[in-house]
């Protein structure tokens, strides 16, 4: 049984808490938040203990895993503090929500602290666990679109409103580029390899806190062109679409279903009648958040390396920060 200490009791922490409740070898032991009433409400729901002091939580519950789900700028503090006490308390691994951190320097501090402690650090890039996205990667790798030429992703919805309206504060959230389309930067890098050049246009900080919008062009080292659109200016609801074109075909899907719903992706042949070759629907209906956390716990129990490494989290932040720099300077950024 893996005992989990959860940092944060907001939206994403609530999702993670529900996942631990459903994972057989997990027990949510403690929930920490700066708002005692929030920690009490979430801990109470799952029979865990509420905390407002991190060191007290660690000392009392001696967790196997610390899972950091508070707003982005504080990921670094909790990860470093947990890593520093890991050997004394028997902590086996740390997970942090995306984006890994607000700056590359913070990513480096997290990586260094976990390396020093010999501790796995998992960055929860959940899109890799969405079946349509993992299937699309497999289709690309199998050569079913031929040599990829371009990939377009669009992700977004209304401006998120949460604790202290922190998403609307660029200094804390990094806007839609760092917070939202980092999902796509990670999946794209996982699927198409390293990015060499970034050019972006966007509203930047000028329209926050009402909305944010960005259009990012990526050039991958393999020659693929990426076109990544992110919006917090769409009051019509959250939507995600993907289109991958290559000399062997076109793969497109629309992921606008509730989490866990079956999906359908269409792969159209590059030549001949465009009848469409259906790829299988997901028979599982598994919650991707549960899949990612179960994967990390399973790796810790087996002593296996998790599928997302700290360096992956850092590289996604690097692409996002390059896009923000490009929006601010009007110039392309070479990575």
Ligand X SMILES: NC(=O)c1ccc[n+]([C@@H]2O[C@H](COP(=O)([O-])OP(=O)(O)OC[C@H]3O[C@@H](n4cnc5c(N)ncnc54)[C@H](O)[C@@H]3O)[C@@H](O)[C@H]2O)c1
Query: Judged by CB, which is closer to ligand X: 202, or 288?
Result: 288
Q: Which of residues 187-226 bind ligand X (CB under 6 A)?
A: none
DSSP state for residue 144 in the 8-state scheme: T
Segment contacting ligand X by CB under 6 A, of 69-77, 102-110, 203-211, 252-260:
69-77
Determine if 10 is a binding residue for ligand X (CB under 6 A). Answer: yes
Q: Is 334 helix (H, G, I), strand (E, B) or coil?
A: strand
CA 175, 176, 178, 179: dihedral to nearest 10 degrees?
A: 100
Where are the strands (E) in the chain, listed by range? 2-7, 26-32, 49-51, 65-68, 93-97, 121-124, 148-156, 195-202, 213-220, 225-231, 239-246, 249-254, 265-269, 277-278, 333-334
Determine if 36 is a binding residue for ligand X (CB under 6 A). Answer: no
Site string for ligand X, 74-113 (x = CB under 6 A): x----------------------xx---------------
Q: Is 324 helix (H, G, I), strand (E, B) or coil?
A: helix
Query: Judged by CB, which is closer to ligand X: 13, or 324?
Result: 13
Nearest to 63 by CA among 52, 54, 76, 73: 54
Determine if 155 is a binding residue for ligand X (CB under 6 A). Answer: no
CB 190, min distance to ligand X, A:
15
Query: Judged by CB, which is closer to ligand X: 116, or 161?
Result: 161
Determine if 316 is a binding residue for ligand X (CB under 6 A). Answer: no
Segment contacting ligand X by CB under 6 A, of 147-155, 161-169, 238-246, 268-276:
161-169
What is d(CA 191, CA 274) in angstroms, rounded to the nearest whole number? Answer: 25
Q: Which of 58, 123, 126, 291 binds ligand X (CB under 6 A)?
A: 126
Q: Which of residues 290-309 bind ligand X (CB under 6 A)?
A: none
Angle in degrees, 0-180, between the axes of helices 11-22 and 36-45, rounded to the nearest 10? 20
Contact by Cβ (8 Å): 228, 215: yes
Segment contacting ligand X by CB under 6 A, of 11-19, 79-87, 109-117, 145-153:
11-19
Determine if 70 is a binding residue for ligand X (CB under 6 A). Answer: yes
What is the sign of the dihedral through the CA atoms of 319, 325, 331 and 334?
negative
Residues contacting 24, CB < 8 A, separation 6+: none
Determine if 71 is a binding residue for ligand X (CB under 6 A). Answer: yes
Segment contacting ligand X by CB under 6 A, of 5-13, 81-89, 135-143, 306-314:
5-13
**How close are the terminal C-alpha atoms of the chain, in Å?**
42
CB 80, min distance to ligand X, A:
13
What is d(CA 110, CA 45) in angstroms, rounded to the nearest whole number? Answer: 31
Segment contacting ligand X by CB under 6 A, of 30-38, 84-92, 132-140, 186-194:
30-38
Residue count (the chain) = 335
Determine if 238 is a binding residue for ligand X (CB under 6 A). Answer: no
Gyration radius of the chain's alpha carbons: 20
Residue with tokens 């920690």: 39
Determine if 123 is a binding residue for ligand X (CB under 6 A). Answer: no
CB 126, min distance to ligand X, A:
5
Q: Is 26 helix (H, G, I), strand (E, B) or coil?
A: strand
Q: Across the strands, what pairs with 230?
A: 155, 214
Q: Which of 5, 13, 145, 188 binds ligand X (CB under 6 A)?
A: 13
Q: Which of 2, 23, 30, 33 binds ligand X (CB under 6 A)?
A: 33
Determine if 163 is a binding residue for ligand X (CB under 6 A). Answer: yes
Chain positions contacting ligand X, by CB under 6 A: 7-13, 32-35, 38, 69-72, 74, 97-98, 124, 126, 162-163, 166, 179
């Amino acid at each position: 049984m893996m005992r989990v200490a959860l940092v944060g009791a907001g939206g994403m922490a609530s999702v993670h808490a529900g996942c631990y409740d459903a994972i057989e070898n997990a027990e949510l032991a403690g929930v920490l938040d700066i708002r005692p009433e929030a920690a009490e409400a979430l801990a109470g729901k799952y029979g865990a203990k509420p905390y407002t002091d991190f060191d007290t939580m660690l000392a009392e519950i001696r967790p196997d895993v610390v899972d950091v789900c508070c707003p982005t700028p504080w990921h670094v503090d909790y990860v470093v503090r947990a890593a520093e006490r890991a050997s004394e308390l028997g902590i086996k691994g740390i997970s942090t929500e995306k984006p890994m951190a607000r700056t590359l320097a913070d990513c480096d501090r997290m990586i260094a602290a976990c390396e020093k402690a010999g501790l796995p650090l998992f960055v929860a890039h959940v899109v890799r666990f969405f079946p349509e996205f993992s299937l699309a990667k497999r289709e690309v790798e199998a050569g079913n679109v031929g040599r990829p030429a371009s990939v377009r992703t669009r992700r977004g919805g209304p401006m998120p409103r949460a604790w202290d309206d922190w998403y609307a504060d660029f200094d804390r959230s990094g806007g839609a580029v760092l917070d939202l389309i980092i999902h796509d930067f990670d999946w794209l890098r996982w699927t198409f390899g390293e990015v060499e050049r970034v050019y972006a246009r966007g509203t930047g900080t000028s329209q926050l806190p009402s909305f944010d919008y960005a259009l990012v062009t990526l050039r991958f080292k393999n020659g693929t062109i990426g076109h990544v659109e992110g919006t917090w200016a769409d009051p019509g609801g959250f939507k995600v679409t993907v289109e991958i074109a290559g000399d062997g075909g076109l793969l497109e899907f629309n992921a606008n279903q509730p989490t866990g719903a079956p999906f359908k992706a269409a792969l159209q042949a590059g030549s001949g009648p465009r009848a469409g070759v259906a790829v299988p629907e997901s028979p599982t209906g598994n919650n991707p958040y549960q899949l990612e956390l179960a994967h990390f716990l399973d790796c810790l129990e087996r002593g296996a390396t998790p599928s997302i490494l700290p360096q992956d989290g850092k590289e996604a932040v690097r692409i996002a920060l390059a896009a923000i720099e490009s929006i601010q300077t009007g110039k392309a950024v070479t990575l």
